Amino acid sequence: MNRLSALCIVMGLIVPSAWAQDWQPDTNDKQELSVQQALVKAWDKNPATKKWFADAYAYAVFPKVGKGGIGLGGAYGKGLVIRDGQTVGKTSMSQVTVGLQLGGQVYSEYILFEDKTAFDHFTRGQFEFDAQVSAVAITVGASADIDYEKGVAVFTLADGGLMYEAAVGGQKFKYKPRQ
């Protein structure tokens, strides 16, 4: 009985981490390590998000997005796209906003693709979100209210800064497949 209990405990520790992430970063690649850190932070903040990543067809992770503005604002970040446990490409995000805004902040952004159609749309190169797409901030319990919109779900996790904003603008993404 003791061996069975020990096996169950060990499997309980190993299986959830493997289930949540089968992607392993290249330890010689700073960007891959940065993406891994962003994923771990998201999962630590809200463990329920692990299931979203495990169930997604593919996902993009932007570990650091810098955003700032005084009237006219902008944001920019670089990330990786992961599918079937492999880094399949690099991506970048840019955003221009107009409206009442002041300050700056840094955050991580996670885009999950529900199916091949949504993923293919993103990887064609000129994917963008309009001003109506909203990201859900990762907090304890936040993922319970999330659902895919047009095959895409977006999470963000604030790293720091302060931004007052009542602005309109969309995000544009570029994708480059891994060679």
Q: What is the pLDDT of residues 47-97, one digit of tens each?
A: 888 899 999 999 999 999 998 888 888 999 999 999 999 999 999 999 988
Query: How far is Cα 72 from Cα 87, in angstroms, rounded to an integer?
Result: 34
Structure tokens at 117: 């159609």
Q: What is the number of domains present in the chain?
A: 1
Domain of 42? 2-177
Label residue 106 exposed, middle or buried (CB < 10 Å: 0-12, 13-18, 19+). middle
Residue 149 DSSP symbol: B
Nearest one of 146, 90, 152, 87 to 117, comparing CA atoms: 152
Nearest one of 116, 134, 144 to 49, comparing CA atoms: 144
Helix (H, G, I), strand (E, B) or coil at 52: helix
Distances (CA, A) of 55 to 19, 33, 89: 10, 22, 19
Residue 25 DSSP symbol: -
Nearest one of 104, 120, 124 to 172, comparing CA atoms: 124
Question: Is the pLDDT score of 165 beyond 50?
Answer: yes
Mean pLDDT of 166-172: 70
Nearest one of 87, 85, 93, 84 to 63, comparing CA atoms: 93
- Give the pLDDT confidence score for residue 15 in this predicted structure: 39
Query: How far is Cα 95 from Cα 77, in angstroms, rounded to an integer?
Result: 9
| Structure confidence at residue 4 as a pLDDT band (50, 70, 90) | very low
| Structure confidence at residue 6 as a pLDDT band (50, 70, 90) | very low
Structure tokens at 175: 């994708």
In this prediction the pTM is 0.81
